[in-house]
Amino acid sequence: MGFRKLRRFNLAVGVAVTAYIATSGAAALIPFSFGQEQLRLLFFPQEVPYAWMTTLGSATYWLLFLLTLVIVPIAAIATEKIFASATVSFPDEVPLWIPLVLSGAMIAFCVHRLAQAGGLSASAAWDQSLCYQDKILRRVELFKLLGNHYFSFVYSSLPIVACYLLARGLLTREKIALGACAGVSLIVLWLDVATIQKAPALLYVLVLGLTLALSGCGLVRSACATIAVGGTIYVALALSQFCGVENRGHPERTALESSPLASHPGPSPMVPLAESSSVLGSPSAADGEPSESGFHGGLAKAIRILRSSVFRMAVGIPYYVQIFSDPDQRCGIVRPTLGGLLAPQPCYPATKVFAVIYPAITYTTGSQPAGVSLSGYAEGGPFYAVLATAIAGSLIGLISALTRRNDPMSIAMQVAGCLYAYYMTQVPLTATLLDSYGLVWLIAPLVAMRALTWMISINLQK
């Protein structure tokens, strides 16, 4: 299957629905005994306050859970049909030097910032003398030292430029573009690893795989390449996550007792991904479960890891609904953090919920993220939850309507739309637009490339 067949349906809507089900779908199990038992095992010995969760399984709970699955496709498809006749024509090919200069400038800035923070070697990511908590605290420190623009370039702008270069190289057979994409990719992965993060690196590999498929390389081949590269990166980073003592013991228990996977202060725009959600770990023999070895021990560990992955973000949904069903607890619409010009917001839903779920974590500020609909409820109540979800869905539809051509710019824009669709299942509306992973930073390099090309063509005509 190639580019044209992929475009027969709204790809970004598919990404949004799939991401939401994958990250939050387990919330549908929590109102029932099976799901509650899974959470009990996940949090053991900490008790899950089911008696306090009076809204669990209520009409409000189910409406908020289903909001993304219903409103996003309707809003996206309706908007796409409205703008179906709209065409965006880009007659002038972007000179190759423009994306090369833009990516070079962004890389130079990021390298400079990382060097200033003492993280250019990325040694903290695989240093086995540093244990899990030490690495997490170093990650939090880097968030503060590097600043918003570093992560805006690494999470959003550079990946989209790389996707453009990859699509251009495949469609026009430009070897320089392919070589530039390879170089940018290595640097982006290095910059991700230097901040001790797995999720952004894996997400970057996924968007390159999507670009391969949209550029006509075939879904099967693209998927195989993506899985091979992504799996290798994940295993390499996972093996270096714990120090020698933890690797000989129970690293999953250490994770539960030590630190959130991506804790950060206040409404940080830095880590929107599933990796930022919580400290969900796994029970060990110390929790009262029998210690096993061999096949049964491996199976038990696999079940614990699966349970942690499935409930990683879903665990926050009943807490969001319960806490913010009280209007006095709502935080107000989260202010954008573009450029870091505004003071931190005193009430931020993700950190507020985290503190309730994990009261024992006090040495740093953690985050339990939620998508646009649930975050909207936490910010402004039911009406804003519906409005924010509809706006996000409409933006997905608009992007899809304007990216129907089979050219590098349209492919890169479509990938940006898919990334936006993914992020809207993780963070509030304003964050999906203006934070370091926001739509503004995703499309900014494409707009800059087109604007510079237009300016050059105007000057040549004079």
Q: Identify which of 360, 364, 361, 349 has the alpha carbon closest to the alpha carbon of residue 426.
A: 349
Tokens 């992965």 sit at which residue? 189
Q: Tens of pLDDT along 355-387?
A: 999 888 776 677 898 999 999 999 999 999 999
Locate the DSSP E strands across 56-159.
Answer: none
Bigger pLDDT: 158 vs 223: 158
The two tokens of residue 242 are 């714990």
Cis bond before residue 382 (omega within 30° of 0): no
Give the mean pLDDT of 266-286.
38
| Cα 263–chain centre separation | 14
Place of tokens 């006090």: 362
> CB-based contacts of 424: which residues, under 8 Å, 6+ apart?
16, 72, 371, 372, 392, 396, 432
| pLDDT, average across residues 252-260 | 35
Confirm if 415 and 367 have CB atoms less than 8 A apart: no
The 10s digit of each residue's pLDDT in 182-223 is 999 999 999 998 888 888 999 999 999 999 999 888 888 888
Residues in the chain, total: 462
- Given a cut of 50, whether residue 389 has pLDDT beyond it is yes
Give the pLDDT confidence of 298-324 residue by residue, as tens digits: 677 777 777 887 888 899 999 999 999
Q: State pLDDT tens for residues 42-83.
A: 888 888 999 999 999 999 999 999 999 999 999 999 998 888
Asked whether the predicted pLDDT for residue 88 surpasses 60, the reply is: no
Tell me whether residue 202 is exposed, middle or buried, using C-beta atoms within 10 angstroms of its C-beta: 0 to 12, 13 to 18, 19 or more: buried
pLDDT class for 419, splitting at 50, 70, 90?
A: very high
6 CB contacts (<8 Å, ≥6 apart)? 213, 214, 219
Average pLDDT, stretch 433-458? 90
- The single-letter DSSP state of residue 44 is T
Q: How far apart are CA 50 and CA 40, in angstroms?
A: 10
User: Interhelix angle for 97-116 vs 132-146, to 10°?
Assistant: 120
Question: The pTM is what?
Answer: 0.84
Distance CA 163, CA 352 (A): 36
Compute the average pLDDT of residues 10-28: 89
Percentage above 70 pLDDT, the chain: 80
pLDDT value of residue 245: 57
CA distance 321 to 323: 6
What mean pLDDT do residues 134-160 have? 88
Q: Which of 201-205, 284-288, 296-300, 335-339 has the highest mean pLDDT?
A: 201-205
